[in-house]
Structure 1
Amino acid sequence: MTKENTMENEVKIVAQVGDTKIAETDVLNYIRNMDPQFAQQFHSEEGIKQIIDELIRQELLYKDAIENKMDEEEEFLKVLEDTRSSLIKSYAFSKAIEGVNIDEKEVMEYFESVKEQYKQPAGVHAAHILVDEEEKAKEIIEKINKGEEFETLAKEFSSCPSKDNGGDLGVFYPGQMVPEFDQKAFAMEEGEISEPVKTQFGYHIIKVIEKTEEKEANFDEVRENIRMELMRQKQQAAYLEKVNRLKEKYPVQVF
């Protein structure tokens, strides 16, 4: 048996259109190029059959197009040239940034220069009850003072979607809430419940669940983000350097 025959036996042929064979690898490559979530529905015997049918249809169209010399039509040649131009530009860009690397020392040095930006500010974990009228807010506060559960009252009276979680807003940081709410929440103590706080949305009863302290940036937590940012910067610099050299060779005019 020749080497060619051995290789052909190793490749599983799943269909044939004229003299063109469709291999199992063609099916796998077709699925691999799909969006992963969409591709999941084809990971079955029926799904594979659908892919094979689609590859057959595509091959039939291809053969018909070649036979009718569609590849020589002016419109097709224009599309082909546009596609070729786009691919060359994309390939040229990848070559321009080829070889750009980031080492651990650069990542650490960059982290030291920007770590203030990665510092986590003090935060507040709070819940609230939002109503339209101040009088209603005061009535709810009375219920709380008499021992009724804040979370239960939030589910009953609050107009904010957070009512489903007992009014829980999670942890937020300075500037994330409207100013009146923000200022009051950060001035309160853990476990404290506020008087009605008016904002553009209505009247809030705020309950501070927990306050978190300012946290220094952790290098291990942000290393990958910094590496990606540095890579972007260095690739951009390499790209612009290449383009600026080319401007000397090919005069550019902007009209």
Structure 2
Amino acid sequence: MKKIPLIICLIPALFIGLFYGITAAASSLNDEVQSDEKEGVVVAVINGSKIYRTALDLEVKSLTAHLLSLGDPVPKSDEPEIRKKALESLINAEILYTAGLKAGYDIDAALIDQEIQQVKDQFETPADYQKMLESIHFTENQLRRHFKKGLVVKNFVEQEFEKKVIVTPRDIRQYYTDHPEKFNRPEEVKASHILIKLDENATPAQKINAKKEIETILAQIKAGKDFATLAKALSQCPSNSDGGDLGYFKRGVMEKSFEDAAFSLEPGQSSGIVLTSFGYHIITVTGKKLESTVPFEKAEKRIQRHLTLHRSKALLDKFVDLQRQSATIDIEKQPEA
């Protein structure tokens, strides 16, 4: 998985799970914004408030990062649809921001100062912080407004929608009963491996050499040499820095030959030589979790939160749809990204 830029992790993704988008960074029409973004490309105007391309670009990055964090691939062909969803999120957020201000959920400047300081604390030097701002084409004033809008919307949604949703103990129990598949934990193993790569177009000589190399390593393991030490020194997988540790995984994640070998082992046992499309492996299992069911008592709070968000989202969708009917929304023709 690609490494997600730090700033994407720092900016609150308030609309994931609500609009499947990200917090808005659209700008209002005060003098500071006009001077700050007068050269920016406008992508939409909502009731007179402009949304700039810089905000949309960041929104696209945030949504893409969210999809990657879920393990979803993001092919290039999906980029126009992601950009469309990001813009819809910004429009919805601008509408909610305006509603939040009207409802009295403005944010004190001191709280925004704290948010900005938390971002700055993630960087070793002020210069690194400035480089980050430059990389996302934001000024600090724009970042401040981004956080302000996010916090206004967050408070508005929590107080006016989430806290007004009623989820009873009976609702929670019924959900647990009706969705047993959500509380079943499949069997998992924790494994480490040593890999000697073998390209699919390898010559017969390369295949012979790779096989000899893995056989030599296997002999060392059988002779009692430490697996993690050998993995760090000899494995050709990026996991070598962690002694070959792959963490816990369930069935269906790895190639079948690798999976079959790993799940057949008990903790402390090592495999023989296993061939996959990546090359030759030796696997050792360091932990195992048997299939189990999450008890109701442990799932109760999670179910309550899920039902609260699900029901509040339905209310929020209706509210935004109604607000959009009376809003003036002008979407500009977008230049190439």
TM-score interval w.r.t. the shorter chain?
Answer: 0.5 to 0.7
Q: 1:113 aligns with which of 155, 178, 191?
A: 178
Alignment correspondent of 1:72: none
Alignment correspondent of 2:22: none
User: For the structure 1 residues 37 and 170, does the alpha-carbon distance in structure 2 shift closer, same or farther, using more than 3 Å as the test?
Assistant: farther
Give 1:148 deviation, angstroms.
Answer: 1.6
Give 1:97 deviation, angstroms.
Answer: 7.5
User: For the structure 1 residues 107 and 34, does the alpha-carbon distance in structure 2 shift closer, same or farther, using more than 3 Å as the test?
Assistant: farther
- Whether 1:235 aligns to 2:312 is yes
Q: Is the 8 A contact 1:127 1:167 kept in 2?
A: yes
Matches within 5 A, 1:30-179: 30-34=109-113, 36=115, 38-39=117-118, 99-132=164-197, 133-179=210-256
Alignment correspondent of 2:303: 226
Residue ranges of structure 1 left out of the alignment (5+ in a row)? 1-27, 43-86, 251-255
Alignment correspondent of 1:10: none
User: What SS does the corresponding residue of 2:189 show, helix, strand or coil?
Assistant: strand
User: What SS does the corresponding residue of 1:131 show, helix, strand or coil?
Assistant: strand
Alpha-carbon distance in structure 2 between the residues aligned to 1:97 and 1:172: 34
Q: 2:280 aligns with which of 203, 216, 231?
A: 203
State TM-score, norm by structure 2. 0.44
Letter in 1 for 2:115: P
Q: Is the 8 A contact 1:96 1:242 kept in 2?
A: no
Residue ranges of structure 2 left out of the alignment (5+ in a row)? 1-106, 122-151, 198-209, 327-337
User: For the structure 1 residues 41 and 167, does the alpha-carbon distance in structure 2 shift closer, same or farther, using more than 3 Å as the test?
Assistant: closer
User: What SS does the corresponding residue of 1:196 show, helix, strand or coil?
Assistant: strand
Kindly tell me the number of residue pairs found equivalent between the two proteins: 176
Give 1:100 deviation, angstroms.
Answer: 2.2
User: For the structure 1 residues 243 and 210, does the alpha-carbon distance in structure 2 shift closer, same or farther, using more than 3 Å as the test?
Assistant: closer
Q: Is the 8 A contact 1:119 1:217 kept in 2?
A: yes
Letter in 2 for 1:106: D
Letter in 1 for 2:271: S
Q: Deviations over 1:164-202 (max 9, x none)?
A: 222222222112223321122112233322122122222
Q: 2:261 aligns with which of 180, 184, 198?
A: 184
Give 1:229 deviation, angstroms.
Answer: 1.9
Structure of higher CA gyration radius? 1
Q: Deviations over 1:152-175 (max 9, x none)?
A: 111110122222222222222112
User: For the structure 1 residues 215 and 142, does the alpha-carbon distance in structure 2 shift closer, same or farther, using more than 3 Å as the test?
Assistant: same
Letter in 1 for 2:182: Q
* CA RMSD in angstroms, aligned pairs only: 3.7
Q: Is the 8 A contact 2:162 2:309 kept in 1?
A: no
Alpha-carbon distance in structure 2 between the residues aligned to 1:168 and 1:180: 18
User: For the structure 1 residues 37 and 183, does the alpha-carbon distance in structure 2 shift closer, same or farther, using more than 3 Å as the test?
Assistant: farther
Alignment correspondent of 1:21: none
Q: Is the 8 A contact 1:188 1:208 kept in 2?
A: yes
Stretch deviating more after TM superposition (136-145 or 186-195)? 186-195
User: For the structure 1 residues 218 and 202, does the alpha-carbon distance in structure 2 shift closer, same or farther, using more than 3 Å as the test?
Assistant: same
User: What SS does the corresponding residue of 1:159 show, helix, strand or coil?
Assistant: coil
Give 1:225 deviation, angstroms.
Answer: 2.5
Give 1:209 deviation, angstroms.
Answer: 2.0
Q: Is the 8 A contact 2:190 2:248 kept in 1?
A: yes
Q: Is the 8 A contact 1:151 1:166 kept in 2?
A: yes
Alpha-carbon distance in structure 1 between the residues aligned to 2:114 and 2:299: 29
User: For the structure 1 residues 41 and 169, does the alpha-carbon distance in structure 2 shift closer, same or farther, using more than 3 Å as the test?
Assistant: closer
Q: Structure 1 vs Structure 2: percent identity of aligned residues?
A: 30
